[in-house]
Amino acid sequence: MKTRVYVTLKGGVLDPQGKAIHHALGSLGFTGVNDVRAGKLIELDHEDGVSDADLEAMCKKLLANTVIENFRIERGN
Amino acid sequence: MKSAVIVFPGSNCDRDLAVAIRDVTGQAPAMLWHQETELPHDIGLIAVPGGFSYGDYLRSGAMAARSPIMRAIVAAAGRGVPVLGICNGFQILTEAGLLPGALMRNAGLSFVCRDVALTVENSQSTFTARYERGETIHIPVAHHDGNYSADEETLDRLEGEGRVAFRYAEPVNGSARHIAGILNDAGNVLGMMPHPERVIEAAHGNSDGRRLFEGLLETVA
């Protein structure tokens, strides 16, 4: 089973990488982009028996730093 | 004073740190591989060096913070043993939950490698006893992820409790409130981005970092 974990910076946290990407898009001539936030996608290939609680614990203990990041788990079928 | 320098795959300031500790304390630290699970008995200082542990995979310090030796370090810190984290060591200590907040990518996105002016904000701690409060010192930084970040409440608490040890006296990396180094609530854990081990004798250009180790030796021994 494949589960996707999306890790994104929390709302109030400044994202210098997102800013740089935003700036680069502007230099390429793209207009109308109001903001860019960069995050991570982590794919887990796991046994069906791994529980939602386990996945959540993995995120809290390692995959995301909850001081600065949020995570969203998209469990595969 | 018995001490240990923790070595992770990708540490690169471990030997400089060991030289500084040996030079000041007269006793070479134990070099402890991250897979060890125990610290030497009656240890007086645990030093977590700079570098790029695990190639900064996932987040700077994230993998190192979950390595076997960290359990022993967290326990020792709880007993009051001084723990010093420099640069990547600071990142590791925040990832391990020994210090609040996080170190993010520098605001300018560039790796910053130069001498910077710091203001000593707290001269009461084990680590800063040999400095004067308000004094300006010069210590080099060399990092990509030194932009200290924490929520306003945490920052206010750090300031209110005198836990900001060092502040940048010039713009460096976008760090919240120009924070360069912080203490834990008990005052026995210090994390700092600048490298005091790189300025311990005149040949290094200045010796402002030396007093940090001298202070430790005095208060611990």
Task: Give yes or no for residue A77 having a pLDDT over 90.
Answer: no
In A, minimum Cα distance to B150 occurs at: A67
Sorting pLDDT into bands at 50, 70 and 90, what band is A48? very high
Lowest mean pLDDT among A15-19, A25-29, B13-17, B109-113: A15-19
CATH fourth-level superfamily of B3-220: Class I glutamine amidotransferase (GATase) domain (3.40.50.880)
**Span B126-181, pLDDT tens digits:** 999 999 999 999 999 999 999 999 999 999 999 999 999 999 999 999 999 999 99
Q: Pick A68's closest partner by Cβ from B58, B109, B149.
A: B149
What CA–CA distance (Å, rounded) separates B213 from B20? 8
Of B102, B108, B174, the CB nearest to A68: B102
Shortest Cα–Cα distance, A43 to chain B (Å) = 13
Distance separating alpha carbons of residues B198 and B20, to the nearest angstrom: 8
The C-alpha angle with vertex B135 and arms to B187 and B150, in degrees rounded to 5, equals 45
pTM of the model: 0.95
* Residue labelled with tokens 């913070």: B65
Per domain, the residue ranges of chain B are 3-220
In chain B, the N- to C-terminal Cα span, in Å, equals: 6
Mean pLDDT across chain B: 96
Confidence of residue A17 (pLDDT cuts 50, 70, 90): confident
8-27 in A: which are within 8 Å (CB) of B? 12-14, 16-17, 20
Report chain A residues whose CB lies below 8 A from the CB of B62: 62, 65
Active site residue B197: yes
Longest Cα pair distance anywhere in chain A, in angstroms? 49
Q: What is the CATH number of the domain that holds A63?
A: 3.30.1280.10
Q: Do B101 and A67 touch (CB under 8 A)?
A: yes
* Three-state DSSP class for residue B219: helix
- Residues in chain B with CB shorter than 8 Å from the CB of A61 are 66
Active-site residue identified among B34, B87, B121, B178? B87
pLDDT in tens, B44-89: 999 999 999 999 999 999 999 999 999 999 999 999 999 999 999 9
Cα–Cα distance between A44 and B27 in angstroms, integer?
Answer: 47
Annotated catalytic residue within B34, B143, B178, B197: B197
Whether the pLDDT of residue B221 is over 70: the answer is no
Specify the residue for token string 């290094």. Answer: B204
Q: How far apart are CA B156 and CA A6, in angstroms?
A: 31
Determine whether B195 is an active site residue.
Answer: yes
Q: Which two tokens stand for residue B39?
A: 């610290």
**How far off is chain A from B94, nearest CA to CA, in Å?**
10
Q: Please tell me the distance in Å from B148's CA to the nearest CA on chain A.
A: 11
Looking at chain B, which residue has its C-alpha nearest residue A18? B109
Q: For A40, which residue in chain B has the nearest alpha carbon?
A: B58
| Domain count for chain A | 1
From CA A18, how far away is CA B81, in angstroms rounded?
Answer: 40
- The 8-class DSSP code of residue B166 comes to E
Judged by CB atoms closer than 8 Å, whether chains meet at B58 and A62 is answered as yes
The pLDDT score that the predictor gives to residue A16 is 84
Share of chain A above pLDDT 70, in %: 99
**Domain range for residue A42?**
2-74
The Cα B63–Cα B16 span in angstroms is 22
